[in-house]
Structure 1
């Protein structure tokens, strides 16, 4: 391998590694992928009718694997903490793209809108705590908020 070819290869690997670690700047969009953390999921390309996709599509039920905080905005900040969504079967209205969050061996920018178990309506939870079926299907079954 020539020295030039090795240098170009190293530069490409550095850029790819920085992107995979989330070290790039800018805002993530549904068209970008793979997502930081190695997930190759992408948002569905089909647009939903109506001004509020959650109302047009109805509720979709998924199982969550832990009790988790709910948030007023799609992020994990303590300042946006609303209440609790308990593990088990829960309904969701739509998904939004928000802050990157990693836990449970997964990482994602997708947040699901729901009503939590402590009386707060239209709050968000990260999709990293869905069971395997929910993790594989949430973006295909839920409309974008």
Structure 2
């Protein structure tokens, strides 16, 4: 048994399972009402399959919209594929769930963002590079100790 529970990876797995479930429902029944999706994915991720001209145009990441016109949506356990229209040129994309960076349904203000340790390291490195040592924030007053409240006090 591992020394720690990896909540980050467990949460990402659950969130990707949610996307898989939603896409399966859409594949069977279509998009209900005003629902539509913006899906941003890493085009360099192993398993991403797309036309070479699209890969040339989007060498790192790409955002696709599933709304009015899409077809051949096939939802697998580890990936999904869909044919989308790019300027009257239908193209099939195969996207592993692990390649997804964001999944947004703006019709209901729902969104998921997948962050990696590499993203955190990049942001930390940028913050360190951009930091001005002369303008470092001064520490605030220390926070008081946390107050422990018994749940029994809320029971009726």
Q: Is the TM-score greater than 0.5?
A: no
TM-score range, shorter chain: 0.3 to 0.5
Taking structure 1 as the reference length, the TM-score comes to 0.34
Rg bigger for which structure? Answer: 2
Q: TM-score, normalised to structure 2's length?
A: 0.33
